[in-house]
Amino acid sequence: MAFDAILRCLDRSVENDLPEVGIPAKRAGYLATPATALVLYLRDLARRCPLPLVVLFDEADGLVGKTMVSFLTQLRAGYIARPEQPFPHSVALVGMRQTDALTLPTFTRVDVEDLLAQHTAATGQRFEPDAIARIFDLSQGHPWLVNALADHAVRREAPDRATPVTAAHIEIAKERIILDRRTHIDSLISKLREPRVRRILDPMIAGERTRGDELDDDFAYAIGLGLLRRNNDTYEIANPIYREVIPRALTYVDQGQIQIPTAPFVQTDGSLDLPKLMAAWQAFWREDGHLAAEGFHYRESGPHLMLMAFLQRIINGGGRIEREYALGRGALDLIIEWKNARHVIEVKVRRDSHTEERAIEQIVAYLDSMGLTEGWLILFDLRSTQSWAERLWTKDVEHAGKRIHLVGC
């Protein structure tokens, strides 16, 4: 069954990329002996292909046990028998796990510029400087993401080669990659269920530190998957796309069940009514949100995830959300971009009587870095001894020239 699935994947690729070569006529016969099905199929293709054949097997690390052994054995047998027997010129195995021998290194900014320049040289279509910068910023040089962003932009958003690719095209490409859950993104999402990954990401989303029961191997595993990177001795999500994918994937089902339209929160001038939005959030949190958050496998960051699901459902109607979180950051920071305006929201869990004071200092510093004078601070009080009347409140404070709107939950 496994090799039947592998050959079916090869069939689809041949139909799309090598229609003039075609699927091997003896394909069904090859499957009669799974131990040689793959090598015979590839030899057949290589024999009839007019150019050197290159084959990339995506998600190769999804094969396990005897199937993986047979898969690798057949590839090795085909390689060793060259040139007496035809075989692909090159075979690449692509997966989530990193291995020193097979990992394609992260692209530098210069690498990205060179890659996109090749497209320009071949087609005449240029990438504007802001598009190049945005591709690198979003991908942080991840090879698959660089190619996926550029490919979607030129195929779907700017198919006319006379049209330059702009940063706006790249933003649309980013959103489509996330929503379409391409194979690579889908594989990444599947890893979020693993306990060793959850032990790291759960406190990270909340801006907390890990509890000390994580092993170095857990961090090495997450880095090997490409989920994390070390930046100035701090663990952080590897790139902005992953940083957005993770919370959206974890709350995808919940977001789809939030039946609140965007229109009531848009004012007559098109701006976002944040006070009304926050009041609606408090009502939602009391009625449904706190129960849904308790059901998350990500228990520590459950409130943060539920808030992001709620906001994403509303903001999808005309804006976007950027997320900032890392281990030990102390808070989750959200930036809502809506109609050329930016709204900063900091999210913290009440730990003690000094939480509010520290949080205000933190958001003031963040607002300074963003060049803004106003922001929102959401404080979750998860103590079971507190009534809803005590948990749900709002107030405004002025501090260091900044206006902070506090929202108790």
By CB atoms closer than 10 A (0-12, 13-18, 19+), residue 141 is middle
In a domain, 278, yes or no: yes
Nearest in space to 361 (alpha carbons), one of 397, 316, 322, 318: 397
Pick the last residue of a domain from 131, 163, 180: 180
What is the C-alpha separation between 195 and 162, in angstroms, rounded? Answer: 49
Count of structural domains, the chain: 3
Helix 302-315 and helix 195-206, axial crossing angle in degrees, nearest 10: 70
Same domain, 357 and 402: yes
Residue type, 166: T
Same domain, 34 and 54: yes
In a domain, 21, yes or no: yes
φ, ψ of residue 278 in degrees (nearest 5): -70, -35
Same domain, 152 and 216: no
Pick the last residue of a domain from 136, 157, 180: 180
| Sheet architecture: strand order including 374-380 | 319-324, 332-338, 341-349, 374-380, 402-408, 393-399
In a domain, 101, yes or no: no
Please give the distance of CA 155 from its chain centroid, rounded to a whole number: 21
DSSP string, 150-204: HHHIIIII--STTSPB-HHHHHHHHHHHHHHT-HHHHHHHHHTTSHHHHHHHHHH
Same domain, 212 and 342: yes
In a domain, 281, yes or no: yes
User: Which pLDDT value is given to residue 125?
Assistant: 98
User: Which pLDDT value is given to residue 209?
Assistant: 86
Q: What is the CATH number of the domain that holds 172?
A: 1.10.8
In a domain, 200, yes or no: yes
Pick the last residue of a domain from 94, 117, 148: 94
What is the C-alpha separation between 314 and 231, in angstroms, rounded? Answer: 33
Run means of pLDDT, 10 residues per run, the chain, 409 residues: 89 94 93 93 95 89 80 88 89 68 76 95 96 97 92 95 97 89 74 90 90 75 86 88 91 86 95 97 93 83 94 89 87 92 95 90 94 96 91 96 97
In a domain, 102, yes or no: no
Same domain, 319 and 376: yes
Same domain, 232 and 328: yes
Same domain, 380 and 360: yes
User: Which pLDDT value is given to residue 72?
Assistant: 87
Same domain, 239 and 296: yes
Specify whether the CB–CB gap between 41 and 80 falls below 8 A.
Answer: no
Specify whether the CB–CB gap between 358 and 394 falls below 8 A.
Answer: no
Same domain, 84 and 114: no
In a domain, 103, yes or no: no
In a domain, 100, yes or no: no
DSSP string, 240-296: HHHHHHHHHHHTHHHHHT----SGGGB-TTS-B-HHHHHHHHHHHIIIIIHHHHHT-
Same domain, 116 and 243: no
Which letter, b or e, does each residue of 213-247 get, where b requires 16 or more Cβ atoms within 10 Å of its Cβ? eeeeebbebbeebbbbbeeeeebbbbbbbbbbbbb
Per the structure block, which two tokens stand in for 226? Answer: 């490409």
Which domain does 224 fall in, by range? 188-408
Cross-strand partners of 335: 322, 344
User: Which pLDDT value is given to residue 193?
Assistant: 86
Same domain, 164 and 310: no
